[in-house]
Amino acid sequence: MATTEECRSALEKLSDNMAGANGDVREAAALDRSLSCRITDLDVTFVGRLQGGRIEVQDTLQGPPREKAEIRLAMTGDDLVAMVAGELNFAKAWGSGRVKLEAGLRDLFRLRKLL
C-alpha cells in the first residue's frame, strides 16, 4: 500500500508533467480551480488548486475534505502512484470505477484532454 508521502510525491510529479506539457494538454491544465484528491485507503485528502498548469497542494487532511472542491478526485494510493507512473490508464480506471472524478460539465470537457 502506498504511503501518504508516496501519494504527495505522485501529485508533485503529476504537477511537473502537466507544467511541461504542450498543446491541448497544456491548455486543459491551465484551469484555475480548487482541487481535492481523496486517497480512500489512507483516509487522507490532499486539497489545493489547479492553477497555472500546476497542482498546488495546500494541505493534507485526515478524512474527507471539509469543503467541496470544484474538481474532486478519489482513488486508492496505489492507483494514484500507478497512474502517474504510467502503469494504470486513467480512462480505464475511471470507467471501471477505480478512480472517481467529479467536476462541472465544462471542466470535465476540458479535463478530458488530460486523460
Residue 37's nearest CA partner among 24, 29, 48, 46 is 46
Whether pTM exceeds 0.85: yes
Q: What is the pLDDT of residue 12?
A: 96
- For 97, residues 6+ apart whose C-beta sits below 8 A from its C-beta are none
Q: Print pLDDT tens along the chain (115 aa).
A: 999 999 999 999 999 988 887 877 777 777 899 999 999 999 999 999 999 889 999 999 999 998 999 999 999 999 999 999 999 998 899 999 999 999 999 988 888 766 5
